[in-house]
Each structure stands twice: as structure tokens, then as C-alpha cells.
Structure 1
Amino acid sequence: MDPAVLRDDMVDSLEHEAKAVVRSERVSVAMRAVPREPFVEDESLAYADRTGEQLGTRVLSPSAAGRLLEALDVEPDDSVLVVGAGVGYTAAVLAALTDETEVHAVDIDRRLVAAARSNLATAGYPGVLVDCRDGADGLPEYAPYDRILVEAAVVEPPRALLGQLADGGRLVAPLGNGAQELVAIEGGERVAEYGTVAFRPLLVDGERADTVERNRTRREDREHAQRAAERRRGWEQSWIDWDRHR
């Protein structure tokens, strides 16, 4: 079947009262314009409303993407930062909502950055900038941003991201450790909540998404080393020059 027809059917289902995740005309038009085939390995599932898995990351279902896009409320010519680029689909729809050169994305996984760049070019949005960064640090070189979308769960919005918002800007993120709520923040305050969600946590430097066990981060390594040092007996402390005291 013609992919354009499949996209229309997909968005029609997202607009239907049974789901009602796409409500605005602008998001509807953008999602109808962006092909999903470049972002989904199994093209037969490109327009199924289900979550996928690719390169160790979660590929959002169309309904999950629609919820994020509606909450972000992007206006024409807005400058946008996506934290957690993944395979690049959400960034592509954002590029259809504003100028593609105004869409920036970061991901901590180099393989995902390469995949997102390739997928975006194939989909017709090569102007979207995707860089390999720790998401909590954002992308200060192109700040401020009118909109920041965090596609991973955080307990609180990273301070660096809030600092990269333009005056009157909006940050949307899943907040919570365990139970999560999709929240919009403006001026440092919650201005809207969009229901419960279930996103993976935002990775930090030293972690990877595709390991069976969660890697210890550099931060955790430092904390373990500090605790171990505090537990040492006097004769084990490296800072004591025992030869000098003989």
C-alpha cells in the first residue's frame, strides 16, 4: 500500500477519540508529511502504533511521539533542542513543524547519532543537526532554544537545560523515578501535566543503552572509590607516609 495512505491512516487513528493524542492541525499535518520507514527497521511495522527496539534504544510508537509533540507546542520558526535523539523520528517531525535548520538534537550514543543523521537525510531533513553529547549538558553553542524536548526520564530537569531556554521558552520531559509524569515547564515552573508515561532514564557519561546490566557510570565509580577510601583502616591509607614514621 502507498506509504502516504498508511501515514494518513496512522494519524487518523491518533486523532480518533479512542486515542486522541493528536489534537492540533499543525502536528497532524507534520506527522502525515514525515515518512517513518527510514526510522524503523521492519518497514511492515513502520505505521503500527507500537514501540520498537533499535540499536539498544526504544523507538517511540506514533502515539507516544504525538503526545510529546502536542505537549511541546512548537510554533513556526521556533528553535528546538531534542535531548535523546534516538533514531531521529521525533526530530524529523519537529523539522516539519519549524525550519529544519532550527532543530538540534543530541544523544550520548555515537551509533545512534550516526543512525539518526542517516535516517534524517533519507527522510528529507538533512539540515537537522545531531551531535554526540551528554544530554544533561544540552547544546549550549546554539542556545537559547524556544523549545526543549527531553525524550528520557529525569527526576528533575537538568539545570543546564533550563539555562538554555529562551525567555518564554518551554521544556517538556518525563519527570519521576519509577512513576513518571509528562510535564511542561516554563519559567522554572510546571505549567501543564499530560499524564503518566514510561520512558527509560536519561543516560549519563559512561553508560550505554544496550548492555544486559546497567553500566556503572563515572560518577558512580568516583562515589564507590570515595566510600572505599573512607572505610580503609589507618595502615591502608595511601596518604600516610609510613616509612617516615618508622
Structure 2
Amino acid sequence: MDPAVLRDDMVDSLEHEAKAVVSSEQVSAAMRSVPREPFVEDESVAYADRSFERLGTRVLSPSAAGRLLEALAPEPDDTVLVVGAGVGYTAAVLAELTEEANVHAIDITRRLVYEARSNLSTAGYPGVLVDRRDGARGLAEYAPYDRILLEAAAVEPPRALLEQLAAGGRLVMPLGGGGQELVAIEGGERVAEYGTVAFHPMLVEGEQADTVERNRTRREDREHARRAAERRKGWEQNWIDWDGKV
């Protein structure tokens, strides 16, 4: 079937009262324009309303992406920063909502940066800047931003991201640890809430899927100690009271 028809069906379902996650004409038109095939491995289910795992990250379902974009509510001339670019799909839709040159995206995982750049180029948005950065530090070189979208959960808004917002700017993020809520923040204050969500926590340096685990030495020490204990002979186990045996 024609991908354009599949996109229309997808967005129609997001607008339907059963889901009602897309309500604005702008987001509707943008999601109808951006192909999802470059951002998923299996093109046959590209327009299914489900998430996918790819290169250690989650490709958001169309419903989840729609909720984020509606909450962000970018204007045509806004400059936007996407923190947690992943494979680049949300950044592509934002390029439709604003302009390619106005969209910046960062991710802490280097291979995802390469993946997002390639996917965006294939989808027709090579002008979106994607860089490898620690999300909590943002991308100060191109600040301030009218809109910042954090596609990962944090227990509080990262200070650097708040500082990189323009006057009157908006930060949208999943806020919380175990229980998360999608919120919009303006002027340092929570101004809107959009219901519960479940996002992966924001990573810090050393926690990427393709790097050595943080605190590796201590972790390995504990693991080696556990294995050494399991390898002991019976007479070496300190929980056996050999002196009391006959």
C-alpha cells in the first residue's frame, strides 16, 4: 500500500476520540508528511502504533510522539532542541513544524547520533543538526531555544536546559522516577500536565548502551568476590562449623 495512505490512516487513528493524542492541524499535517520507514527496521509495521527497540534505544510509537509534539506546541519560527534524539523521528517531524535549520538534536550515544543523521538524510531532512552531547548539559552553542524537548525521564528539570530556554520558552519532559508525568515548564515553573508516561531515564556519561558500565571496577570487584566464594571447597566455607563436627 502507498506509504502516504498508511500515514494518513495512522494520523487519523491518532486524531480519533479513541486515542485523541493529536488535536492540532500543524502536528497532524507534519506527521502526515514525515515517512517512518527510515526510522524503523521493519518497514511492514512502520505505521503500527507501537514502539520499537533499535540500537539500544526505544523508537517512540506514533501515539507517544504525538503527545510530545502537542505538548511542545512549537511555532513556525521557533528554534528547537531535542534532547535524546534516538533514531531521529521526532526531530524530523519538528523540521516539518518549523524549519530544518531551526532544529537541533543531541544524544549521548555516538552510534545513535550517526544513525539519526543517516535516517534524517534518508527521510529528506539533512539540515537537522545532530550532535553527540550529554543531554543534561544541552547544546549551549546554539542557545537560546524557544522549545526544548527532553525524550527521557528525569526527577527534576536539568538546570542547563532551563538556562538555555529563551524568554517565554517551553521545556517539555517526562518528570519523575518510578512514576512519571509529562509536563511543560516555562519560567522554571510547571505550567501544564499531560498525563502519565513511561520513558527510559536520562543517561549520563558512561551509561550509554555501547560503553563500559560506570563504576566498572567496583562492580567487577563484587562479581569476582561472589564467584570466588562459590568456588570454595566445603572446608573453606566459613558458615560450616567444622570444630563442632566429630
- The bucket for the TM-score relative to the shorter chain is 0.7 to 0.9
Partner of 2:140: 140
Distance 1:169 1:62, change over 3 A: same
Shift of 1:210: 6.1
Q: Percent identity?
A: 82
Q: TM-score, normalised by structure 2?
A: 0.86
* Cα distance in 1 for residues equivalent to 2:115 and 2:23: 30
Distance 1:11 1:217, change over 3 A: farther
Partner of 1:189: 189
* Cα distance in 2 for residues equivalent to 1:99 and 1:39: 20
* Cα distance in 1 for residues equivalent to 2:178 and 2:142: 32
Unaligned 5+ residue runs, structure 1? 222-246
Shift of 1:215: 2.8
* Cα distance in 2 for residues equivalent to 1:93 and 1:57: 18
* Cα distance in 2 for residues equivalent to 1:210 and 1:49: 28
- 1:65 alignment partner, SS class: helix
Q: Give 1:83's aligned amino acid.
A: V
Shift of 1:159: 0.2
Deviations for 1:116-165, whole angstroms, at most 9, x for unmatched residues?
00000000000000000000000000000000000000000100000000
* Cα distance in 2 for residues equivalent to 1:71 and 1:54: 25
Contact 2:169 2:186 in 1 (8 A): yes
Alignment of 1:45-194 (within 5 A): 45-194=45-194
Contact 1:205 1:217 in 2 (8 A): no
Shift of 1:47: 0.1
Partner of 1:203: 203
Unaligned 5+ residue runs, structure 2? 219-246
Deviations for 1:37-74, whole angstroms, at most 9, x for unmatched residues?
00001001100000100000000000000000000000
Q: Give 2:12's aligned amino acid.
A: D
Q: Give 1:164's aligned amino acid.
A: Q
- 1:201 alignment partner, SS class: coil
* Cα distance in 2 for residues equivalent to 1:55 and 1:77: 32
* Cα distance in 1 for residues equivalent to 2:167 and 2:132: 26
Q: Give 2:119's aligned amino acid.
A: N
Moved over 3 A (4+): none
Contact 2:109 2:210 in 1 (8 A): no
Partner of 1:238: none
Q: Give 2:113's aligned amino acid.
A: V
* Cα distance in 2 for residues equivalent to 1:217 and 1:3: 46
Distance 1:167 1:8, change over 3 A: same
* Cα distance in 2 for residues equivalent to 1:156 and 1:88: 24
Q: CA RMSD in A?
A: 1.5
Distance 1:175 1:77, change over 3 A: same
Shift of 1:209: 3.1
Contact 1:57 1:210 in 2 (8 A): no
Q: Give 2:187's aligned amino acid.
A: G
Contact 1:82 1:104 in 2 (8 A): yes
Determine which of 206, 210, 213 is the counterpart of 1:215: 213
- 1:202 alignment partner, SS class: coil
Contact 2:148 2:165 in 1 (8 A): yes
Partner of 2:16: 16
Shift of 1:208: 1.5
* Cα distance in 1 for residues equivalent to 2:210 and 2:54: 9
Distance 1:24 1:217, change over 3 A: farther
Q: Give 1:18's aligned amino acid.
A: A
Q: Give 1:195's aligned amino acid.
A: G
Shift of 1:216: 2.4
Q: TM-score, normalised by structure 1?
A: 0.86
- 1:215 alignment partner, SS class: coil
